[in-house]
Chains A and B, each alone.
Chain A
Amino acid sequence: MTTVFQQLINGLSLGSIYALLALGYTMVYGIIKLINFAHGDIYMLGAFWGYYTINFWHFNFIFALLSAMVVCAAAGVVIEYFAYRPLRHAPRITALITAIGVSYFLENGMSYLYGADTRNFPQVIKQVNYDLWGVRVSNIQILILVTACLLMVLLQLIIKKTKMGRAMRAVSVDPDAAELVGININRTISFTFALGSSMAGAAGVLIGLYYNSIDPLMGMTPGIKAFVAAVVGGIGSVPGASLGGFLIGLLETAVQSLGFSAYKDAAVYLVLIIILLVLPAGIFGKNVKEKV
């Protein structure tokens, strides 16, 4: 029983990282139908920002987290402006290839400028382990879970309660109609990128703290997993992305703890395929049928 709870805690910590990343995928996909391949690399930028500011500018955790969110938001907006905006009306596969190009650019640019080696993330918060009825929980795990949940609630509030959030929802349903009623499409899309990228930045700092090591290619695999999480949850759906993230995190830790760690990625993809076959638009996605 304790191992189950232990794995549950580990799974939720990992899952909250995936969930934060998945939010960015789902929001961007919802609004411009683009799989933003570079999203995982924004997360890498966040981790590196945290690494440098903590090491060289001696930022504390909160400050590093918030500044990483701001910097990543800016990076997201700049990338959208230069790489995706010119392709707004191009075939979608073209925009996808551009996103892959941006991803390569960020990964290799970072490797070129700062070297490809793995670095140790500074221990800005000293790890303390608590023993709760035999289950080992670290303060960092709690911090990750709490921060992630706070951010998700905040995001949900922004989307549901603010004017900008309403604009985002409108553009994702019908950009042309949204424009007709006076919504500034470009600004709304920029805002979406800013919001999604800031979540990725936060996830980057949190993962640095959790795993202690960062490198320029760290965004690749979690990026793809987070996208899978967004698809499982129903791409375009914010609660879906959170749920998908936690599901994938839990699944991975479960498979690992059963001794099949070599197959943990395979299990994730298998579950993805099965869910899509049963629910072709994910758990919370709406399956839109074409009208004849």
Chain B
Amino acid sequence: MKANLKYNICWLILMVAGFYLMNALILVGVIDSFLENMVVTIGINIILAVGLNLVIGFAGQFSLGHAGFMAVGAYATSIMISKTPTAGVFYLSIIVGVIIAIIAALIVGIPTLRLRGDYLAIATMGAAEIIRIIINNMKMTNGPSGMFNIPQFATWPVVYIMVCVTTIIVVNFIHSRGGRAALAVREDEIAADSMGINVFKWKLAAFVIGAATAAVAGSMQASYVQTIAPNNFNIMESIAILIIVVLGGVGSITGSFVAATILGIVDAALQSFGALRMVIYALVLILIMIFKPSGIMGAKELSFKRLFNPKSRKAGAKS
């Protein structure tokens, strides 16, 4: 009990320190608006990657439809705060987005999560495209041209807090009864089934939590960037999130943080390269995958428990 408290306090200190560091750097002027934009984009990508990693890396379900759920959150927030631009409505819109995303995830997940591997990937990709096409043809969402001049409530502190909250939820879920059941499903469905685990239920739980966090990221994106269009949420966006997850390491939340940060910095640094930027990005991606096939972090995690107890660290290092 006491030990748990110690680790939790460490994490809390880390989060608060990160916040004040960011705040100080902005005050001093080290972080200008360009860098702030970069940091916020990284934050949004972290929320997306952590959620997708829960589905792919921990529950072992290959979903390629993350951008569809992100779109749900983004549009819920955009529509609501464009009508009533108050902070209260903004927070309410996040909740509304999450609820709609959960309903969408249930509608998509209940039939498709019976499928396996690549078949599931292609079905979820199709489902996300259907969501996008519906948004594309709705009046309320302003169709293919999208929405602009969305009021900005998602400032960097809001995004920062959301990164912390969604990560805490996902990580704590992983290290609980439900998370262990999801891991069992990833490892061996037949064995999990024989141990009394409702395989389908836990697949769906992970899928729904992933979708809910994607909706939060969508809300942040819409209200920070202030313009959205259905095309921001196409297959390529789902793939971009998948790339972060795999690059960081499938099954490593720390890896998702690291990969989102590195890709965000690389992306910002290559801005001046113009058309060459994506060529370099593609080459870097191929090379990293060839030379580090299990991703930057593999399945390893940053853990205070391990830092404090070298003995358990040694046992864990084998993983």
The interface of chain A, by Cβ under 8 A from chain B, is 29, 33, 35, 83, 86-87, 90-91, 93-98, 100-105, 107-109, 111-112, 116, 220, 224, 227-228, 231, 235, 262-263, 265-266, 268-270, 272-273, 276-277, 280-281, 290, 292
Contacts and interface: CB of A to CB of B under 8 A. Distances in A.
Interface in B93-136: 111-112, 114-116, 118-119, 121-123, 125-127, 129-130, 133-134, 136
B126 A280 contact: no
B244 to A, nearest CB: 10
Interface of B: 56, 62, 111-112, 114-116, 118-119, 121-123, 125-127, 129-130, 133-134, 136-137, 190, 235-236, 239, 242-243, 246-247, 250, 275-276, 278-279, 281-283, 285-286, 289-290, 293-295
A96 B280 CA distance: 18
A231 B122 contact: yes
B71 to A, nearest CB: 14
B114 A269 contact: no
A273 B293 contact: no
A215 to B, nearest CB: 14
Given A93-B246, A97-B246, A266-B129, A273 B290 contact: no
Given A93-B250, A97-B247, A108-B275, A87 B62 contact: no
Contacts of B56: 93
A104 B278 contact: yes
A277 B126 contact: no
B266 to A, nearest CB: 14
Nearest to A263: B133
B129 A280 contact: no
Given A83-B290, A272-B122, 6 more contacts: A87-B289, A96-B246, A104-B281, A112-B276, A269-B127, A273-B112
Contact of B123 (A100, A104, A276): A276
Contacts of A105: 279, 282-283, 286
A87 B286 CA distance: 11
B279 A273 contact: no
Contacts of A277: 111-112, 114-115
A79 B225 CA distance: 37
Nearest to A29: B118
A108 B242 CA distance: 20
A280 B118 contact: no
Contact of B118 (A35, A266, A292): A35
The interface centre, meaning the residue of B56, B118, B289, B294 with most chain A CB atoms within 10 A of its CB, is B289
Given A94-B294, A111-B275, A101 B285 contact: yes
Contacts of B243: 97, 100
B279 A108 contact: yes
A280 B275 contact: no
A273 B126 contact: yes
B250 A91 contact: yes
Given A263-B133, A273-B123, A91 B294 contact: yes
A33 B121 CA distance: 14
A290 B117 CA distance: 14
A266 B133 contact: yes
B279 A228 contact: no
22 contacts: A93-B62, A97-B243, A97-B246, A97-B247, A98-B289, A101-B282, A101-B285, A102-B286, A104-B278, A105-B279, A105-B282, A105-B286, A108-B278, A108-B282, A220-B236, A265-B133, A266-B129, A273-B126, A276-B115, A276-B123, A277-B112, A277-B114
Contacts of A35: 118, 121
A121 to B, nearest CB: 23
A142 B85 CA distance: 58
A98 B111 contact: no
Contacts of B127: 269, 273
Contacts of B62: 93
B234 to A, nearest CB: 10
A33 B117 CA distance: 11
A94 B293 contact: yes
B289 A94 contact: yes
Given A94-B294, A97-B242, A100-B285, A272 B276 contact: no
B137 to A, nearest CB: 5
